[in-house]
Amino acid sequence: MQTYKMFIDGKWEDAANGDTFETKNPFNGQAWAAIPKGGKQDAERAVEAAHRAFTSGPWPKLTASARGHLLRRLGDLIAENAEHLATIEVTDNGKLINEMLFQLKYIPQWYYYFGGLADKIEGAVIPIDKADTFNFTRNEPLGVCVGITPWNSPLLLLAYKLAPALAAGNTFVAKPSEFTSASTLEFAKLVEQAGFPTGVFNVVTGFGADVGETLTTHKYVAKIAFTGSEATGRKIGELAARNFKKVTLELGGKSPHIVFDDAEIDNAVNGVISGIFAATGQTCIAGSRLLVHRKIHDQFLEKIVNLAKIARMGDPLLTSTQVGPVTTPPQLEKILGYIDIAKGEGAECVLGGGRPDNPELSRGWFVEPTIFSGVRNDMRIAQEEVFGPVLAVIPFDSDEEAVHIANDTNYGLAAGFWTQDMRRILKVSAAIQAGTVWVNTYRVISYMSPLGGYKHSGIGRENGIASIQNYMQTKSVMISTAEDVANPFIMR
């Protein structure tokens, strides 16, 4: 069994209490690695190390161009180790090797992009309305930033946070999910190899109650960036608000995927299948509510059922596998529970609905691709995030009804729709309440394009130029050029 250590202040260390916990392979249910079970003391040491690195030593003395060089070097190392890191992630979270290898080969672009952006964030000279006063602004880093990442795409979602944070000059403490810590610890080896100064990047592994809460409330932490559930995001937001810490929260979704009657049907079928089943539904942007125009509803439903039922389930490390296991046993039980809820609400299960009967999959945490028809938007299966391979199909009769159903949810992370009508594209994309809207495609991401949610789907944006501003604060500097001091009792 592989044994890992945490990375704190440039050193590889066990948890202060010496405890570890096992991480298991979702495909076969077998423990494959031992992870340090960090606690409050470890989290405090990591934050203190990051604070020292931010306030003294070589990091704050580096130019922005030098920080950019380190980030680009890190990107090169990720590219060189993409296959190894992808294999670690698949072993830990059960997602398909095809998807994780795509992610790992794409992740370097975040470090190249923000490495190039590091020395291009400029202040401004303001033509202020005060005589004999020169006013300019500076963009300065916040300090210690904490990134708390989920189990579905650990290194991609870490890149969303770490790349802009370091480009801006901050230091960082990463807390990966207790279910998928291994890849972040492997990644820390590359940060060390890239030559970042001691303490700039730290990894603490463990559980939320012990590690996460300490990181969220520590006096030296200036910002928390979190991707995960709405419930955990709310708690982090509440804890951070007590000491006015900045937050970026990318939370849950119940994304509508709309097919209008003029859609190119085969393309839409492929897009819908990809949107819900390609990642076993384990993504916040999953298109879990399928809205289909009543005119084509039956035809479209038949096509997606026929395609989904031949999807190959199996070992996620095989490139031939199309649907892998669910990442954790609690998530498996949650998904099966929602399937029972949907049946109890009167939705018709037209595909799947349980665990596969293939004995070769019996040791793993598998759920069949599942499709429900006859769904009403007020059903729990249409309102609550399942985070699994479960699709709820809802018919509609008009554009206005489609938009109403799409927006009738607490979430607003993403949406997609299929049509050939340009007027509809402009009107519907404006009307949908979601941070990302895809048209005639789905699940497309870019390091250059902002990602974030409306409503309960989060606060702030990740990726793109705007995201680096979330890791900086603006200082206004006013310099008097007057020869005489003005009356001290009057505001100038």
Catalytic center residues: 250
Sign of CA dihedral 394, 366, 341, 150: negative
- Angle among Cα 161, 157, 121 to the nearest 5 degrees reads 30
Do 453 and 253 contact (CB within 8 A), yes or no? yes
- Calculate the dihedral angle through the C-alpha atoms of 281, 286, 289, 290, rounding to the nearest 10 degrees: -90
Tokens of 466: 């705007």
The residue among 80, 78, 89 whose CA lies nearest residue 183 is: 89
Q: What is the amino acid identity at position 479?
A: I
Q: Which residues of 247-268 are buried (b: 16+ CB within 10 A; e: fewer)?
A: bbbbbbbbbbbbbbeebeeeeb
Tokens of 258: 């709309």
Residues facing 415 on adjacent strands: 437
CA atoms of 387 and 245, how far apart (whole Å)? 29
The residue among 143, 386, 314, 168 whose CA lies nearest residue 244 is: 143
CA atoms of 333 and 331, how far apart (whole Å)? 5
Do 375 and 350 contact (CB within 8 A), yes or no? no
Task: Compute CA distances 401 → 127, 230, 251, 294, 432, whole Å.
Answer: 50, 27, 26, 11, 12
Instruction: Give residue 232's Cα distance to chain centre.
Output: 14
For residue 378, give every residue at least 6 positions away whose Cβ sits within 8 Å of its Cβ, in sequence order, or none: none
